[in-house]
Amino acid sequence: MTLPDGWDAEEQARVKRLATKLRTDHATQIIAVRAPGRVNLIGEHTDYSGLPVLPVAIDRSTIVVAAANTTGEIEVTNADPAWPSRRFAIERQIPPYETGDWADYVKAAIQGVIDRFPTHALRGASIVVDGRVPPAAGLSSSSALTVSIAMAFMASNQLELDPLEAATMVARSERYVGTHGGGMDQAASIFGRRDHALFIEFDPLRVRAIKMPANAALVVADSRQIADKSGTVRAEYNRRVVECSLAARILGRALKLDGATILGDVVRAYPAWNAVELVEKLAATSPAQLGANLKDAANILGVTQNALDADLLGQGPTRIALDPTRPLEVLKRARHVLSETERVIHAATVLEAGRLDEMGTLMDASHQSLADDFECSTQRLDEIVECARRGGALGARLTGAGFGGSIVALCEVSNAAAVIESIDRGYYAKQYPGAAPENWRAVLHAGAGASVIDMRATA
Ligand code: NG1
């Protein structure tokens, strides 16, 4: 049988090994899913405002092997013993583990399928996970995991969804872990295409593949500053989700738009919008900073503080907790998101035309905006970006949520080795003297999106 695009020889061998155990324990059908991580070229912190992004799925993936069982439970084992095995019952509302447990991402994916098929009698599944997307590096190992689990669980229950619907379902389900993210990572993992970047738009989700120019190389380097999404980074991320939504609500009211809750609502209402004008409008209507108790914001919006609080922060276990001692930055965040959106739209055009120099310039500007206005870069990310540029990269920026994690540098294929050398010498040798940096940076390639195979057919 011909495998779907994206499975390399090593991955095929891995799933066969993982399937052996399930094959002896379960006589039923065995499903294997491969779902890649992603690196975002440009369009950072725009997805949860419903604004476009331009990532590539990468040739690093998570592989999952699953078989339906009769216990009514999910039994999940990780090939890496650092992540302990877990077992939980399938129920209408699955209670989460303690914050930070890796298997909460498994629960998130299963809960997403339960919510999507609420009247279906779902069978349990035994699942083995083998993840090869570096965790906490800004390459979306979490979405590779949730996408692969959701697809495996659906397949083991003979359920199918259109890919656009599947991406939307998994994006929503990942919020179970408490991060109020957008839909970039899950869409990239599902729609990845070899040698292509993905121009992804939201509300409704649309994906257009853009061929990567043949002379372009992507160097991805991990700062090794852990961007741990379950702790302070989650709080910082969610804070920005709130700040962006406040900017949208205030701008929406100033422009007499009914019900704008994300900046995408504002942009979509004005096809001829531009970032400078919208930011000026916002500045004229609202102070640049607002108190975290939302009192001033409620006044500006003409709503009660309680109503705004419930609407913005949510309720229950995924309610956003705001540090009350810091002001909310409304203007700076909006300036980043709106200017970044202009850059993404421009980037799609220049990438398609193979104008790599211009693409690099846009990536540099994106990093600057993330550092100054979105305040999600770090000294270490700035340093590693600088090293990539010194090595001759056409442009470089942090990729993913930031606060640590990886950078992506765009360069000519012929120059990739020099960029890597510059990062090794200027960053790793200083931060980690004497260490071998080979596993911390690589030239990554745009790869295929997630796919499911029936192991019986490949045995
Ligand atoms: P990573 O880098 O995987 O933490 C997060 C969000 C994205 C997007 C980026 C910033 C999740 C699962 N992912 O990515 O949706 O908002 O930050 O552009 O929350």
Protein residue whose Cα sits closest to atom 12 of ligand 1: 181
Ligand 1: centre distance to CA 104 (Å): 17
pLDDT in tens, 116-148: 999 999 999 999 999 988 777 778 999 999 999
Length of the chain: 459
pLDDT band at 457 (very low <50, low <70, confident <90, very high): low
Q: What structural domains and CATH numbers belong to the chain? A: 9-213+446-456 (3.30.230.10)
Q: How far is the CA of 183 from the centre of ligand 1 (A)?
A: 8
CA 285, CA 254: separation in Å to the nearest integer?
7
Query: Dihedrals φ, ψ of 278, to 5°?
Result: -65, -40
In whole angstroms, give the CA distance from residue 324 to residue 212.
45
Q: What is the pLDDT of residue 334?
A: 98
Ligand 1 center from residue 165 Cα (angstroms): 19
Give the closest residue (by CA) to ligand 1 atom 5: 401
Give pLDDT tens digits for 143-195. Answer: 999 999 999 999 999 999 999 999 999 999 999 998 889 999 999 999 999 99
Residue 103 — pLDDT band, cuts 50, 70, 90? very high
Q: Look at ligand 1, atom 11, and give the residue with the nearest C-alpha.
A: 181
Q: Which of 163, 126, 329 is nearest to 243 (CA)?
A: 329
Instruction: Give 396-438 pLDDT, tens digit per residue.
Output: 999 999 999 999 999 999 999 999 999 999 999 999 999 999 9
Q: Which residue among 185, 265, 373, 424 is the active-site one?
A: 185
Name the residue of 47, 262, 341 whose CB sits within 8 Å of the most ligand 1 atoms, as the mutation to test its pocket. 47
- Lining ligand 1 with CB less than 6 A are 44-45, 47-48, 138, 140, 142-143, 174, 179, 181-182, 184-185, 229, 400-401
Nearest CA to ligand 1 atom 16: 45
Cα-to-centroid distance, 400 and ligand 1 (Å): 5
Q: State yes or no: is 309 an active-site residue.
A: no
Q: Please, what is the average pLDDT of the chain?
A: 94
